[in-house]
Amino acid sequence: MAISWYPGHMVRARKEAAETMARTDVVIEILDARIPGASSNPMITQLRLHRQRPGLLVLNKSDLADPAVTPAWRTALSDRENTRVIAISSKRSADVARLIPLAATLALHRDSPLKPLRLMVMGIPNVGKSTLINALVKRAVARVGDQPAVTRQQSRHDLGPAVEVIDTPGLMWPAITYPTDGLMLAASHAIGENAYIDEEVALFLAGFMLERYPTRVAERYSLVVDRLDAAGLIESIGARRGYRLQGGRADFQKAALALVHDYRSGALGRISLETPASRAAMIESARAT
């Protein structure tokens, strides 16, 4: 099943973003540190390059990502022209405090109240933009919710006399090129729930965890996983937790949702669903077919 999700309000959001970018000095794109490649919106890159704006790529939720993988992403993404990369958790004030000084190095001509630094925060839904904006402004100015597309319109905020920031709605692109990207985005809760099948996403996640992080699932669910496949893992989770339907049958859907929730919440530990190498291999394989 190919996953795509492009609600109607995003057409307007893209148009407004293009107009605002013309008045912006630096574009701050928020990525999910667990899936930096899959969560990078090609439309944002195209708009930024068209306007010749420097970019600060923020690998947010780094506290949920594999600490052995995130440095590789920082190196890989730093190859982009006129771009800086930083890994943070928007829940940590010390991390957030590093953003503005770093963004300022990309726009040295903006250094006074007469020429305020104008920042534009962009990204796909549910990568933590609103949490970051609230941390920057130091009060709750952006609505935060554990659902994609909570923010529906732009908002402007002053961060002192010399810096202003524009918060923008989460922006997807019309068609997700690679099916694996759709599964990673759905697993990470960047896509509306009506766009995918829970069990399909859970099967993808279960297979990945058995391949890359078998010890994590074994410890989390007190299971021996050596001979389990993806479906077997989900069934075993259901059996271990007593998820049963009327008549005694295993509740596969409830177990699937439990696995996905444990990944999203960090209960499975710090997980990265892709590395620069695995992404390159996935793209190469897709092109060859």
What is the CATH classification number for the domain harbouring 117?
A: 3.40.50.300
Q: Are residues 125 and 235 in the same domain?
A: no
Domain that holds residue 17: 9-167
Q: What is the dihedral of CA 263, 267, 269, 275, to 10 degrees?
A: 10
Angstrom CA distances, 239 to 113, 178, 275, stand at 62, 33, 32
Q: Are residues 36 and 106 in the same domain?
A: yes
Identify whether 107 is part of a domain.
yes
Please tell me the distance from the alpha carbon of residue 229 to that of residue 83, in angstroms, as a whole number: 41
114 lies in the same domain as 208: no
Residue 190 lies in a domain: no
Handedness of CA 45, 47, 51, 55 (dihedral sign): negative
pLDDT of 30 reads 97
C-alpha distances (whole Å) from 70 to each of 78, 172, 173, 204, 271 are 12, 23, 24, 21, 10
Give per-residue pLDDT as tens, 211-259: 999 999 999 999 999 999 999 999 999 999 999 998 888 899 999 999 9
User: In whole angstroms, what is the distance from residue 227 CA to residue 236 CA?
Assistant: 12
Q: For all residues of the chain together, what is the average pLDDT?
A: 92
Residues 163, 64 share a domain: yes
Q: How many domains does the chain have?
A: 2
pLDDT one-digit tens code per residue, 43-98: 999 999 999 999 999 999 999 999 999 999 999 999 877 899 999 999 999 999 99
